[in-house]
Amino acid sequence: MARTLSHTPPPSAPQHGLVPDLVASLPLAGKVGQVNQRLKGWEAVRWVDEAPQVTDVLRAEVDRFGGIGALYGVLRADPWSAVRWGAGIPPERSAEAYAAVQDHVTRYGDGLPVLFVEEAPHGLMALGGTTLPVNLALGAGMDAGLTRELGEAVAAEARERGTHLLLVSGLDVLRDPRWGRAEECFSEDPALAAMLVEATVQGMQGAGAGERIDAQHVAVVAKHLAGQGAGIGGRNGSGAPLGPRELGEIHLRPAFAAARAGVAGFMSAYNDLDGVPCTGSRELLTGTLREAWGWEGIVMSDGGAIDRLTLATGGRLEDAAALALHAGVDLSLWDQSYTRLEQALEEGLVEKAALDSAVGRVLALKERLGLLGAADGEDPGATPPEPEPWPSTRARATAVLAERAAAQSVVVLEDGGLLPLTVATVAAVGPNADDLDAQLGDYTPPRPPQEPGAWTVRAALAERLGEEAVPHARGSDLRTPLGPEALAAVTAAAQRAEVTVVVLGGTSRRSYEDEFADNGAADGPASDTTNGEGVDLAAVALPAAQLDVVRAARDAGRPVIAVVVDGRPRVLAELDELADAVLLVPFPGPSGGRAVVEALFGAGVHGLLPATLPAADRVQPVSHDQRLETARGYIDQREVRGALLGAGLPARVRATVLEAEVDVRVADLEDGTSATVTVRVENDGTGTVSVPVVLYGRRHEPGLLPRARTVLAARRAEVPPGGAEVELMLGLDALGSWASGAPRAVPARIQVWAEPVLDPPEGAASVRVTV
């Protein structure tokens, strides 16, 4: 049964205000210009002699097409763009750079304004953009309210600089820890991913489906659609041989949540689905999004993805352009193919109506942002306001929220009876102990020369205890040893302290000397980089060089606490044997060091694992929601799972579903009825704790193998000493079938529990969906 998002059937081309007349009035070249986003923005405008200057690259594009639909990356700053402090657009002058482009395009082109597009994987990727914890860290926090606030703050920060549209990760579901982009996922569980991507869209856009996006918010293109987290072997962009049920239940659920929230656009993924490239899939981009779901918005290709379709079309760009346009791609990104659309139309490879629909959707988004017509009170060519010194008031407010999120990202897997610490001296050792870049994640702009609120673990310990009380030694690089002397220095540092904190893990650091693929991903070996796009790993166990640092710390005879700062699930079996306590922290951002130290000394703020850890290399994927099977592991590796998604509750905290047997009818569930399940959270400690409360379920539907468990609902709660009762509402999303990618009520029995275990406890409560 198709499930639309609204009662209005999807039009072939949006019918909003000025849009139909504009589409009809544009010449063919102008229409082609509106669906093109071929230029890299940092090449279209330069900062010269304290002023922005448009380049010949931009002039030629306007001369060729009469206009530009969107311009990507005017503000982008990273090693790929080669933009850095002192050689890019100053943050407080961003609006001037955009205004220079807008003035040229509207003055010398067709008068239609450009959409300014930037990346925001975890904060605006521009000089001065506030860096947030990565999505996987927000997944550990499981706080939809804070995620919404972060989205709103990033949007306001970007919009005050002149940005209209942000490209935002969140649709990918982490199904294989070998994938380098695991850090961009919220979770391995689609319900958690859906909850947080919906909150992000709501915060950033501040408007529901079809509503005007005001000048304090931005449009969002959510990426990537679909199945990119299920690539073969965890290899980036590889095929996703998914059946329709797996696609619907796991990979389309976050997209449906984003569509329901009124997301302005989706980005088609690089991968194929059962051999059909997502960027060329009419079944996905038109059949599912527009016909089945009734969603209206733009589809943007990933960078160069349309040109890659030549692998499926015999090598001609015209055929690739026709395939993508027919599938439903409205806006290209860095592709040459869409510049050949005139030829494709002349050859009859695609209908003119398909181009008109795409142009209409691009213009409808511009209208939704208030960019079409002075009557809306916004003149896209207006003189920019006087710049506010950077960091602006908004940017400082965003940083405060980022600190809260970093605190929620710290997962205490094992406290060993050591926490909270009450010591006066702590050794800080290991490759990530004093490496700020290792806390930041992939696609991070260059840090400013003076960055307030940035703390490594060593620096935060020194702030708390004093420099002399925190002996430090690196011990090794992330993948390679530094020799016996470096390990001896670790032992010596540990001997001078009461306890040693060994900070290990990975990094997504990129260098201005690295090699890059055409889309900015890492291309070729990177010195000690272990995470990020293009950095897929065949093995995810901690490297031997890092474990040797832990052994060197143990040689001092003091307690050892291991802190793993990373962007992917890791095999921690050997580490568990070596360390007395273990914390795992997905890349937490600049303030992450302070967040770790607060957790060590008992701040009472806890995150939970957003993804399951493999028990060993060679057994992944091992997600908590795999279907039940009779297999019992491998002959040479009986246990396949380590710590489960949801691990990390403090020993003094217990969660239990109060006795409940709830029935809800199919028809009532479809009409919006919810079942209420109450969880009793006990807190045997003396202080309030902040923890996510998660309700797990095992769904029994006739004829289907059940998944071991899924997340039904999650919310963050403040639990005072003694405990509290937390109510969780289970509606159609939680209790319905997602086999088609949209929720549908069907008869089922769902066992429910709140304990962080894989199987339902004896006598677990249940919810029944009846006819």
pLDDT-based confidence at residue 395 (cuts at 50, 70, 90): confident
Q: Quick one: which H or E segment has residue 225?
A: strand 219-225
CB-based burial of residue 227 (10 Å sphere; 0-12 exposed, 13-18 middle, 19+ buried)?
buried
The predicted-structure confidence for 622-667, as pLDDT tens digits, reads as follows: 999 999 988 878 989 989 999 999 999 999 999 999 977 889 999 9
Fold of 653-770: Immunoglobulin-like (2.60.40)
pLDDT-based confidence at residue 210 (cuts at 50, 70, 90): confident
With 50 as the cut, is the pLDDT of residue 683 above it? yes
Say which range, 377-381, 542-546, 675-679, 724-728, has the weakest mean pLDDT.
377-381
Say which range, 515-529, 611-625, 713-727, has the weakest mean pLDDT.
515-529
C-alpha gyration radius of the chain? 26
Q: Quick one: which H or E segment has residue 34?
A: helix 28-34
Listed residue (110, 86, 107, 89) closest to 98, CA to CA: 89
What pLDDT score was predicted for residue 381?
A: 45
CB-based burial of residue 332 (10 Å sphere; 0-12 exposed, 13-18 middle, 19+ buried)?
buried
Q: What is the mean pLDDT of residues 74-83?
A: 94
* Residue range(s) of every CATH 3.40.50.1700 domain in the chain: 407-600
Q: What is the mean pLDDT of residues 19-40?
A: 95
What pLDDT score was predicted for residue 476?
A: 97
Query: How many Cβ atoms from other residues are within 10 Å of residue 667's Cβ?
Result: 11
What pLDDT score was predicted for residue 383?
A: 54
pLDDT-based confidence at residue 6 (cuts at 50, 70, 90): very low
* Residue range(s) of every CATH 2.60.40.10 domain in the chain: 653-770
pLDDT-based confidence at residue 513 (cuts at 50, 70, 90): confident
With 80 as the cut, is the pLDDT of residue 389 above it? no
Q: What is the mean pLDDT of residues 287-292?
A: 97
Q: What is the mean pLDDT of residues 611-629?
A: 94
CA distance 455 to 595: 9
CA distances from 638 to 631, 635, 641, 718 (A): 10, 6, 9, 38
Q: Residue 646 in contact with residue 606, Cβ under 8 Å?
A: no
Residue that wins the pLDDT comparison between 168 and 17: 168
- Among the residues of 66-189, which ranges form H helices? 94-108, 135-141, 144-160
Determine if residue 71 is left, alpha or beta; phi over 0 gives left, psi from -120 to 50 gives alpha, anything else beta.
beta
* Residue carrying structure tokens 């213009």: 363
* Residue range(s) of every CATH 3.20.20.300 domain in the chain: 115-373
Q: Which segments of 22-149 are extended strands (E)?
A: 45-48, 51-54, 70-72, 115-119
With 60 as the cut, is the pLDDT of residue 709 above it? yes
With 50 as the cut, is the pLDDT of residue 190 above it? yes
Which positions ≥6 away from 394 have C-beta within 8 Å?
153, 156, 157, 160
What pLDDT score was predicted for residue 631?
A: 81
Amino acid occupying residue 513 = E
CA distance 759 to 374: 60
What pLDDT score was predicted for residue 660?
A: 76
What pLDDT score was predicted for residue 525?
A: 55
pLDDT-based confidence at residue 44 (cuts at 50, 70, 90): very high
| Neighbouring-strand partners of residue 765 | 752
CA distance 259 to 290: 10
Angle between helix 144-160 and helix 190-205 axes, rounded to 10 deg: 40
With 60 as the cut, is the pLDDT of residue 14 above it? no
What pLDDT score was predicted for residue 572?
A: 97
The predicted-structure confidence for 432-477, as pLDDT tens digits, reads as follows: 999 999 999 999 999 987 777 899 999 999 999 999 999 999 999 9
Fold of 115-373: TIM Barrel (3.20.20)
pLDDT-based confidence at residue 16 (cuts at 50, 70, 90): low
What pLDDT score was predicted for residue 8?
A: 33
Q: Which two tokens stand for residue 265?
A: 């656009």
Say which range, 15-29, 256-270, 326-340, has the weakest mean pLDDT.
15-29
| Neighbouring-strand partners of residue 331 | 300
The predicted-structure confidence for 277-287, as pLDDT tens digits, reads as follows: 999 999 999 99
Q: Residue 400 in contact with residue 128, Cβ under 8 Å?
A: no
Q: Residue 172 in contact with residue 715, Cβ under 8 Å?
A: no
Which positions ≥6 away from 152 have C-beta within 8 Å?
203, 204, 206, 217
CATH 3.50.50.60: does it fit domain 407-600? no
Query: How many Cβ atoms from other residues are within 10 Å of residue 33's Cβ?
Result: 26
